Amino acid sequence: MKKLTKGARLTVGLDLGDRQSRFVVLDENGQEVEEGRVATREPALRQRFSGCERMRIALETGTHSPWVSRLLVECGHEVIVANSRKLRLIYENRRKDDRVDALYLARLARLDPQLLWPVEHRGPEVQKDLALLRSRDALIHARTQLINHARGLVKSLGHRLPRASSRAFPKRVLEAIPESVQPALLPVLEVVTCLNDQIKALDRKVETLGRESYPETKLLRQVTGVGPITSLGYVLILERPARFAKSRAVGPYLGLVPGKKQSGDSDPQMRITKEGDSLLRRLMVNSAHYILGPFGPDSDLRRFGLKIAQRGGKKAKKRAVIAVARKLAVLLHHLWHCAEVYDPLYQETRKASRRGKAA
């Protein structure tokens, strides 16, 4: 392959594939000056994009986008990582193929990079640490599937397994398994036991990592219901508080706000968008459940959620949980950014102070 054209400022659309990636190059006037394929491997990409003048390269988020974007920046180019969920022009195209995708990326990047809804990938060190949480989440998902499988299989025979926590499940249900399905379910219980041990080991690693490498997690753990896993996940996924101009922006970033579909006089009530990182959103929701649960201490967050839940309706409790999760995400960003001491009854303290001044 020939080297990319030098001279005028060029814009490149790069559609990443698992083995081969397709690219299209546009000049300043939007004319195609080159197109081709390149192997999605570091040596091939470095050879292809090194030694040329600085270009603007657009690519979509995906499995390979973190390391490819870092590599292209090392080669001296301006790199735009487009949010693939926002590019309906590409993923709803009825004549979709790799070349057309690369062409659309290049044209949008040349016209206005903000149309690509650019995202910022995490650094390699943070990505490596976050892998601990991702692996733990995958193990928990596998354990849940195995437990549900065991319960469903026994129920189909007219029996029921006793209630038990995930960690106590193998020992608690062993005697309740019908003899006819013991050959099928005993290996499942052994795997669940092994998964419990692996999850426990990862929990210890996560707590050590947060204490030694990310001391800012201590600020977030001031809030009851936010433990080592949630606090570390929050810090690693958001990476730095300065990414958000206001703490309130964290709620929409995590998809914890209702969607909008307004048109004229029509403005229907929508569900939450569920955009952003699903792991962190689940961690926020789990913490909200604890705050509103029977063991949650009195706090502004709890009072806020209970007030919403008391409005009635079959979805009131769900709305309360989501509202508390969103408010918690905002609160954690504020504590992290300002390094403040958390006052669980801050609003009550303010009201008391105002009453004292008025008296």
Q: Domain 11-119 classified CATH 3.40.50.180? A: no
3-class SS of residue 21? strand
Alpha-carbon distance 95 to 92, whole Å? 9
In sequence order, the β-bridge partners of residue 263 are 266
pLDDT in tens, 48-66: 999 888 999 999 999 999 9
Q: With bands split at pLDDT 50, 70 and 90, how would you rate the model's confidence at 4? A: very low
Burial of residue 11, with CB atoms counted within 10 A of its CB: 0-12 exposed, 13-18 middle, 19 or more buried: buried
Alpha-carbon distance 318 to 359, whole Å? 40
pLDDT in tens, 277-313: 999 999 999 999 999 999 999 999 999 999 999 987 7
pLDDT recorded at residue 359: 62
Average pLDDT in the 327-345 region?
94
Q: With bands split at pLDDT 50, 70 and 90, how would you rate the model's confidence at 7? A: low
In sequence order, the β-bridge partners of residue 56 are 11, 78
Average pLDDT in the 130-142 region?
96
> Could you state, in order of their start, the residue ranges of all structural domains in the chain?
11-119, 123-213, 218-229+238-262+270-359
Alpha-carbon distance 129 to 35, whole Å? 37
Q: Reply yes or no on whether the pLDDT at 6 is more than 60.
A: no
Q: Reply yes or no on whether the pLDDT at 126 is more than 80.
A: yes
Average pLDDT in the 71-79 region?
95
Alpha-carbon distance 263 to 209, whole Å? 48
